[in-house]
Chains A and B, each alone.
Chain A
Amino acid sequence: MTMDITFNVGGAAGQGIDKIGDLLTQIFVKAGFYTFTIKDFESRIRGGYNFTQIRVSDIPVYASNDEIDVIVALTRAAIVGKRDQLVENGVIIFDDSIDFTELEQCHLPLPLEKTAKEVGGDTRMTNSAALGAVLSVLKYPFEMASEALEAIFQKKGEKVIQPNIKVARAIYDIARDHFQGECSHDLSTLRGGPSEDKLVLSGNRAIAFGALAANVKWISSYPMSPSTSAFQDIVSVAHTLRIGAFQTEDELASLTMAIGASFAGARSMVTTSGGGFSLMVEGLGLAAMTETPVVIYNAQRPGPATGLPTRTEQSDLLFMAHASQGEFPRILLAPKDPLEGFNITVRAFDLAEKFQVPVMILGDQYFADSVMNIPRIDVTGIKIDRGKLAPRGSDREYKRFQLTEDGISPRAFPGDVGKIVVAAGNTHREDGHISEDPNVRNEMVEKFMKKTPQILDALNPPTLEGPPDAETTLLTWGTVWGPVFEAVNILAADGVSINQLHFSDVFPLKTERLMAIFAQAKRVISIEQNATSQFARLVRMETGLNVDKMINKYDGRPMTAGWVITRLKEVGVQ
């Protein structure tokens, strides 16, 4: 029997829900467990009902769970908000100052804030009090927690470490004495878990780390949820790593500036969400026409317009695949989890410079804010490929858009000795000067079109989980991988003949393996976090193949394996 516990920390915005969540995550990561955390919050500064949900297991977990074992509630709304998802023998811990009298066996009111003040001398230690209470109901060995807390607070010094541990201990004891109910988990014999994965990483941070590992030298962005933390992570080290990190007046400027910086020789990127990308569309065309490499990260959220700013959706796929007037090659990559987010970002810069095209990374709020612990990443092996560069030295005949066999021209940068670099957003000749000659136009369009087959060769094929000859194939892309993967495993264990065909490199679409699997499967079901099955439509457009059923989720909340299985049963998969 594997261990699989879900904690939910709920309360109002600004109450420190994340802090308690982070403490819980770190305690279990340090003890050797796998964690997966989602953040569910409203678009407001204070108040409302937000929560962080942490799943802990001794096997790797890739999604959130529907059933909750322990709830820490900081407001009345949080006491009742997730009651229906609480398991039998679940526990709801809350501060006894909250006016709540409809007590059931699962409710555990405790003097969290009072103890923080009396024992620790500071109400800010209520976080540690809540932690102590959770550990107590689980009968988690306190010595293990205490060691972990020392490590967590180490940077802040003894004055912070000891009072926090004391507060946690005090509540741990009070809860043990007061708790009348039962908890679904008893960890009293726990000595540690099998996980060596110590790097705790959100999707956004993985994108930022990937960019840093790829030696990004320029980022220009405008703050927009849920992408902002990726920008902030890079800004925070910009001076040390000599990165131009620029907060612009709008997204029109963000992408145009990044193209300017790239034209001048810097590896460049922008971060945004769909609404910001809408403004960047003009720049996308400019990057394409002037063959200036750039990486665009879009943490998608439900639209149109402001939509749901802090929620999740995969609804910008076809928009990004077709954005801008005109026809040109581009690349779309959609990571399935933080580790892949890191790797895809590293690849994105190389692909952009190799093919001199815009490369777009499609995350979403679920990906951006989800936190997992993953193995430490070895960045020493990362090689940077800047693509074709013009040889150094004087070349009076240098032409930025020189026609070549493969359609890719060697790049030079303004300021290079002995070369003049000319480019234009208008259709241009090899030397970059404007031309309306039909032959030039044909040559330049054909130059663009030569890139696509080479890009397809450079992209990764889809992955297949489960037997190739399964009756049912689930078609997924991007961040729904996790919950669908878990659902496939559960169903397969029940004897269902099922597999999952998953795309992380989504555009241009690699079709070879897709066609083979479609030919083998009795039925193909697409599962997407949008209303119109955009990826299934892309597949139909590129191959003429139809999926048999489409499963869609568009309420802005992430999928779980349980949700996927229920929907699959509805369409007859068993």
Chain B
Amino acid sequence: MQKYIRTDRLPWIYCPGCSIGIATQMVAHAIEDLGLDFHKVVIISGIGCSGRTSGYFKTGTYHTTHGRAIAFAEGVKIANPELEVIVISGDGDLAAIGGNHLIHACRRNIDITVVCINNLNYGMTGGQFGPTTEHERYSQTSPPPFGNVEHPFNLVQLAASSGATFVARWTAVQARRATKSIAKGIKKKGFSFIEIVGACPTAYGRMNRLGDGLAMHKHLLEVADIQNGLPPHEAEFDYERRIVCGEFVNIEKPEYTEVLRQMHLKAHGQ
């Protein structure tokens, strides 16, 4: 890992039992498996616990403002399509404040890879409900006895219906499968979205009495139901009972920077 991770930045800022370290490893392994040139990789993140991931990589990195990682990444990728652009951020950053950028990037099909670490709440600010928090779950801003009034996004469905060409979901305990999917996503010429369902024992776990980090990860292993190729609308997410995992979308669609290149060539009569 030392090859990829800045050991001078350690120890991590993350809590014991958090999944973000595992997800960071997944991305590092995927880069290793693909043999990518470090100088051609830019890792971009937003704000929040997961948003701090970029700073641990030895590649080029950019830590943007809250929610804007994808918008920034699109600028980088189109300006220099030779770069391998990877966004790592959380569910709140990508699907709430950055939700508009997410769906439009899916629609445009720009060749970037988004790894969304979904820990079901805003961890860094102390555990408020977010766009993926289930109905009636507790958080700092949806306290007992009533819990969350709202209903969550199913991120797989959101990305798939918005037009992403590669969509997968894994939990943090399925590290090898998730790593493969991330590598596939990076290789894919198109917009790839990989959700990594993780544990936030400090905030979400404690408030919803889900146990410590170990118990939460054990639970993820139990409820993970691998259904590769299932239509995305059937990719159920029910924390208590069943989290459907796998690769749900892998389709071909003209990719934005490639189309742009063709148009530029055409404009020059080639």
Contacts and interface: CB of A to CB of B under 8 A. Distances in A.
A417 B72 contact: no
Interface string A392-419: 0000000000000000000001111111
A415 B80 contact: yes
Interface in A402-454: 413-426, 432-434
A244 B78 contact: yes
Given A240-B268, A286-B65, A421 B74 contact: no
A42 interface: no
Contact of B65 (A244, A256, A265): A256
B76 A420 contact: no
A341 to B, nearest CB: 25
B64 to A, nearest CB: 6
A218 B75 contact: yes
B58 A420 contact: yes
B168 interface: no
Given A240-B268, A253-B100, A432-B61, A420 B39 contact: yes
Nearest to B44: A260
Given A249-B101, A258-B75, A420 B64 contact: no
B75 A261 contact: yes
Nearest to B104: A249
Given A256-B64, A283-B65, A266 B79 contact: yes
B71 A415 contact: no
A253 B39 contact: no
Given A265-B79, A425-B65, A256 B71 contact: yes
B38 A420 contact: yes
Given A249-B101, A260-B79, A423 B63 contact: yes
A486 interface: no
Given A282-B65, A286-B68, A260 B58 contact: no
B253 interface: no
B63 A424 contact: yes
Contact of B266 (A239, A249, A418, A424): A239
A527 interface: no
B52 to A, nearest CB: 8
B78 to A, nearest CB: 5
B79 A253 contact: no
B55 interface: yes
Nearest to A424: B63
A252 interface: yes
Given A220-B75, A426-B63, A256 B267 contact: no
B71 A257 contact: yes
Interface residues of B, number: 39
Residue picked from A250, A262, A283, A420, most chain B C-beta under 10 Å: A420
A262 B266 CA distance: 25
Interface in B4-51: 6, 9, 38-40, 42, 44
B79 A264 contact: yes
B28 to A, nearest CB: 15
Contact of B72 (A218, A256, A285): A256
Contacts of B264: 239, 242
A414 B83 contact: yes
Nearest to A421: B60
Interface in B79-126: 79-80, 82-83, 100-101, 104
A413 B42 CA distance: 10
A432 B62 CA distance: 9
A272 to B, nearest CB: 15
A334 B266 CA distance: 38
A475 interface: no
Nearest to A416: B39
B214 interface: no
Nearest to A428: B63
A248 interface: yes
Residue picked from A260, A415, A425, most chain B C-beta under 10 Å: A260
Contacts of A282: 65, 68
B73 interface: yes
Contacts of B55: 422, 424, 433-434
A217 interface: yes
B104 A414 contact: no
A255 to B, nearest CB: 9
B154 interface: no
A220 B44 CA distance: 19
Given A253-B104, A433-B55, A259 B75 contact: yes
A420 B72 contact: no
A140 interface: no
Contacts of A415: 39-40, 42, 60, 80, 82-83
Given A217-B79, A420-B38, A253 B71 contact: yes
Given A256-B65, A256-B68, A415-B39, A422 B60 contact: yes
A179 interface: no
A63 to B, nearest CB: 39
A246 B82 CA distance: 18
Contact of A257 (B52, B62, B74, B266): B74
Given A240-B267, A253-B71, A261 B104 contact: no
A36 interface: no
Given A239-B267, A415-B80, A425 B39 contact: no
A252 B70 CA distance: 11
B221 interface: no
A259 B60 contact: no
Interface string A98-131: 0000000000000000000000000000000000
B162 to A, nearest CB: 11
B59 A257 contact: no
B263 interface: yes
A252 B268 contact: no
A437 B174 CA distance: 38
Residue picked from A256, A285, A416, most chain B C-beta under 10 Å: A256
A425 B72 CA distance: 12
Nearest to B42: A414
Contacts of B39: 414-420
A26 interface: no
Contact of A264 (B59, B75, B260): B75
Contacts of B62: 260, 263, 290, 422-424
Interface in A111-157: none
A413 B82 CA distance: 12
A413 B80 contact: yes
A434 B72 CA distance: 18
A256 B75 contact: yes
Interface in B226-270: 260, 263-264, 266-268
A416 B40 CA distance: 8
Given A414-B83, A415-B83, A419-B39, A264 B76 contact: yes
Contacts of A257: 71-72, 74-75, 78
A290 B76 CA distance: 14
B106 to A, nearest CB: 11
A280 to B, nearest CB: 11
Contacts of A250: 100
Nearest to B78: A244
A285 to B, nearest CB: 7
A381 to B, nearest CB: 26
12 contacts: A239-B263, A239-B267, A240-B268, A252-B71, A253-B68, A264-B80, A266-B79, A290-B62, A415-B83, A424-B55, A433-B9, A433-B55
Would you list the 6 A-B pairs with minimal beta carbon distance, nearest first?
A260-B75, A239-B267, A257-B75, A424-B63, A261-B79, A264-B79
Given A253-B100, A283-B65, A286-B65, 6 more contacts: A240-B267, A252-B68, A259-B72, A260-B72, A420-B60, A422-B60
